[in-house]
Amino acid sequence: MNTSLYKTLVLNEWRLRSRRLSSLVILLAVVAVSWLMVLDPKSGMAMMVVGKQRIAYESQALAFATNLIASLLFGMAGFYLARGRTQEDLRCGTAAVLAATPVSNAQLLGTRWLGAFGFLLSLGTVLMLTVWVLQLVRGEGPLQPLPYLQMLVFGLAPGLMLCASLAVLADAWAPLMGKRGDALYWVFWMVQFAFIPATLGQGAVRLTGWQVFDINGMSPLLVGVSRLMDVNHISVGGSPFDATLPMLHMPAGLWSTELIALRLGSMALALLPLLPAVMFFHRYAPDRVKLRNPAGRWRVVQLLQWLLRPLLRPFTLALRLLLRASARLPGLPGRWLADVSLVLLSQPLLALVMGGGTVACAVAPTEVLPALLAATLCAWGMAVADVSSRDLQSGTWALASAVPGGAWERGWRQALAALGLGLLLALPALLRISTVQALACVAGLLFLSAGATLLGRLTQGSRTFLALFLFALYLNLQKTGVAALDLLGVDGAANAVSVAGYALAGGLGLAALLAWPRLRRT
């Protein structure tokens, strides 16, 4: 392959991913979380605290902290942003053309990897530029670009390389296509946290060769900063501090030869998934790969459904009776009940988990109630992620728009169905927690219901909402103490301002859904 053709293919891969609306949504989410985590010291909380002393918001500290946040979110969402090219080729009819192109598997997948990595690195660069603006607005000391560039290249880039490699592997190997690859990557992303030190307060902190496997870099970077500042514990992400104590300054010199060698080794490891991708590339063979059926299920899910038949049979029967009742209920209430029934019937395993979680929230001790509520609403979020995109993926949007209520009602009714289901599931817990926590949960459910419907309609898929929802839930469970991050009230940090903010955002989302059909016609 000549250089100009190779360059054209790489740029084409970059452009195809850059034009997705989901890319802009994820980028805005990363920027918003990064800005939220850089807390105003006047609030008594700071982004980085050692003991009771806060670290000044200078270039070195801001680059380090925002890199950790970006590594978390890009580490999860980057995979979902980079993958999906095989399904696009099959859907657009270009798969046969690519299969017949006189280009080797390694060259074709190489262009896809470069395009995906370049795209993710572009998002990281935009984030870096927005943090520069953040330092000019809220920072202390002059802006120094070098620490940010070092974090981008050695801190963030290895994780982005791994996301691109795994995305290429998931698209190239038929068994990992579809929801199977999505689920396995989610498990892989969670397992990576085993490399983060449980605490930096026990014993001496040091870099080890094993940390080369922490490709996202959280563990070696935390150890590197601890050694640089000669401390055993650093709190990153929002902690109280004593304003009477002097500020600390993070010195330069983080990137020692040892740390750079570890990160270069992580870059090399991040490329390893490309080897099985080339070996097992399906090359769009019709007997090995086909356009994904939105109604299709993973075999493991089918096996679980078969094993749980004694439980699912009466449960499914009750849902069918509920669907029949919706047909007899006139007007909007009947159509709303039908939407709720459809969500539950389409995913019976999640419906069973949600039902069990609701019962547990009613009888469990108060101290475990936040965790049970979070688990129940996690299943709810996974169930409603495709509440609006299901019509588009199944090709039934025109049919659904022709029934009573039409397209105008369809959008906001789906959001209300998701909200109503969430409120029903959370009701036992809402009656047992504090008023502020209950209001925070209701406002969060309103915000998430509108967000799931809007993002599904805009991106024509569920991955964008699912990635953002799971990351938001992860932050909520970390007990950060930041009210704006207590989306569902399980942290206990929510206040009147955060509740009002999420309620307002959810209301604006519903208003956008109301105006959507009219805007589409103009």
Task: State the number of CA atoms in the 13 A half-sphere of 479 facing the CB.
Answer: 3
Residue 150 belongs to some domain of the structure: yes
Convert the pLDDT of each residue in 128-142 to its tens digit: 998 898 888 888 888
**Pair 284, 99: CB distance under 8 Å:** yes
Helices 157-172 + 105-138 axis angle, to 10? 140
Which of left, alpha, beta for 38 (phi over 0: left; psi -120 to 50: alpha)? beta
Helices 59-82 + 463-477 axis angle, to 10? 140
For 19, the 3-state DSSP assignment is coil
**pLDDT > 70? residue 145:** yes
Please give the pLDDT value at position 339: 85
Give the phi and the psi of residue 136 in degrees, each rounded to 5: -65, -30
Residues 46 and 111 in one domain: yes
Band (pLDDT 50/70/90 cuts) for residue 520 is low
Residue 400 belongs to some domain of the structure: yes
Q: Among 35-44, 295-304, 405-414, 464-473, which range has the highest average pLDDT?
A: 464-473
Residues 252 and 328 in one domain: no
Please give the pLDDT value at position 480: 67
Residue 246 belongs to some domain of the structure: yes
Mean pLDDT of the residues in the chain: 82
- Pair of tokens at residue 336: 């709303």
Q: Give 306 or 362, the one with higher predicted confidence.
A: 362
Q: How far apart are the first and last CA of the chain?
A: 46
Residues 225 and 86 in one domain: yes
Say how many domains are in the chain: 2
Q: Give 324 or 308, the one with higher predicted confidence.
A: 324
Residues 376 and 240 in one domain: no
Task: Please give, one letter per residue, the 3-state secondary structure of 404-463.
Answer: CCHHHHHHHHHHHHHHHHHHHHHHHHHCCCCHHHHHHHHHHHHHHHHHHHHHHHHHCCCH
Please give the pLDDT value at position 77: 82
d(CA 405, CA 413): 9
**What is the residue type of 8?**
T
- Region 215-238: mean pLDDT is 84
Please give the pLDDT value at position 200: 39
Please give the pLDDT value at position 482: 74
d(CA 52, CA 426): 37
d(CA 326, CA 330): 8
Residues 479 and 406 in one domain: yes
Residues 410 and 266 in one domain: no
**What is the residue type of 199?**
T
**pLDDT > 90? residue 150:** yes
Residue 412 belongs to some domain of the structure: yes
Burial of 48 (0-12, 13-18, 19+ CB in 10 A): buried
Q: Name the H helices within 271-368.
A: 274-279, 299-307, 309-328, 331-346, 348-363
Longest dimension (CA), the chain: 72
**Pair 192, 214: CB distance under 8 Å:** yes
Residue 19 belongs to some domain of the structure: yes
**pLDDT > 70? residue 304:** no
Residue 290 belongs to some domain of the structure: no
Convert the pLDDT of each residue in 26-79 to its tens digit: 778 777 877 777 777 887 888 888 888 889 889 999 999 888 888 888 888 888
Residues 270 and 325 in one domain: no
Residues 67 and 202 in one domain: yes
Band (pLDDT 50/70/90 cuts) for residue 486 is confident
Q: Which domain holds residue 41?
A: 3-279
DSSP 47-101: EEEETTEEBP--HHHHHHHHHHHHHHHHHHHHHHHH--HHHHHHHHT-HHHHHHS
Convert the pLDDT of each residue in 5-33 to its tens digit: 788 888 888 888 887 777 778 778 777 87
Q: Give 504 or 31, the one with higher predicted confidence.
A: 504
Residues 340 and 238 in one domain: no
Please give the pLDDT value at position 394: 67
Give the phi and the psi of residue 237 in degrees, each rounded to 5: 115, 5
Residues 392 and 494 in one domain: yes
Please give the pLDDT value at position 522: 47
Tell me whether strands 45-50 and 235-240 are parallel, antiparallel or unpaired.
Answer: antiparallel
Convert the pLDDT of each residue in 316-329 to its tens digit: 777 778 878 887 88
Residues 478 and 434 in one domain: yes
Residue 285 belongs to some domain of the structure: no
Residues 208 and 344 in one domain: no
Residue 359 belongs to some domain of the structure: yes
Work out the percent of the chain whose per-residue pLDDT is above 70: 88
Of the listed ranges 51-55, 256-260, 308-312, 453-457, the one predicted with least confidence: 308-312
Work out the percent of the chain whose per-residue pLDDT is above 90: 23
Band (pLDDT 50/70/90 cuts) for residue 305 is low
Convert the pLDDT of each residue in 97-118 to its tens digit: 777 777 788 888 999 999 999 9
- 144's CB contacts (< 8 A; 6+ apart) are 58, 59, 60
Of the listed ranges 62-66, 381-385, 392-396, the one predicted with least confidence: 392-396
Confidence (pTM): 0.78
